[in-house]
Amino acid sequence: MRFPRIVPLVGLSLLSACSSTEPTAPSIVDDTPAYTFSITGDERLSGNGITLTYTNPKGYGEVDPSGQLQWTPVVLITLASIDVTRPQVNVGLIGPIEPGTYTLRIFGAPLGTKQEFYGSFMVPEIEGAQRNYVATTGTVTVTSVSPVIRGSFKFHSSSVLHIPANPDPGPALTPSAASLDASGTFVARPPDTP
């Protein structure tokens, strides 16, 4: 019977193959909430730190064609330093929280039915004023949602809104032309239950 002879030869060849190579370390995936970002254009800087995640059941509102204000839940991921005087990136995920590519929110489409996002880069100024660059093009790619939300983003802003420390309740503020590119990666806690 030839079968018993084949098994030891296969086992021996596997053993010799294993013993001739160096052992490999197990792959370690860090699920600690963290981020990195890089900003180029009108502002130039980079940052890293710990992400903050918040689910807001009325995170994004928009007036529909009939004039009614419609709300949809948002998972907001904030990339900010503990130092509140430092710039921060905000990414709002609208629609199903699942792996995939989120495109920039387009006004007028049904809310919360597909993966969309809004994003901004905010720079604090003295005495509570700020410069806010809102994404005008870009994507957010989510690669996993459990046990953490893991992904990357890349967006461009073509305008900046200068917000004073105590905005006048009068006329709306007008954005100025700008050119800013933001990109980065994040690991964030899964959305909390609203």
Q: Do 124 and 135 touch, CB atoms closer than 8 A?
A: no
Length, in residues, of the chain: 194
Which H or E run includes 186? strand 176-188
Domain residue spans in the chain? 30-188
What are the pLDDT digits (tens) for 124-134? 998 889 999 99
pLDDT given at position 193? 54
Question: Would you write out the chain's pLDDT as a tens digit for each of its 194 residues?
Answer: 443 333 333 333 333 344 444 444 444 568 999 999 999 999 999 999 999 999 999 889 988 888 889 899 999 999 998 888 899 999 999 988 999 999 999 877 788 889 999 999 999 998 889 999 999 999 999 999 999 999 999 999 999 999 998 877 777 889 999 999 999 999 999 976 54
Predicted TM-score (pTM) of the model is 0.79
Residue 42 is classified by DSSP as S
Distances (CA, A) of 122 to 43, 78, 87, 90, 184: 11, 11, 6, 8, 15
- Does a cis peptide bond (omega within 30 degrees of 0) precede residue 147? yes
Residues 6 or more apart whose CB falls under 8 angstroms from that of 146 comprise 190
pLDDT given at position 134? 96
Residue 52's nearest CA partner among 75, 79, 84, 31 is 79
pLDDT given at position 139? 98
Nearest-angstrom CA–CA distance, 125 and 127: 7
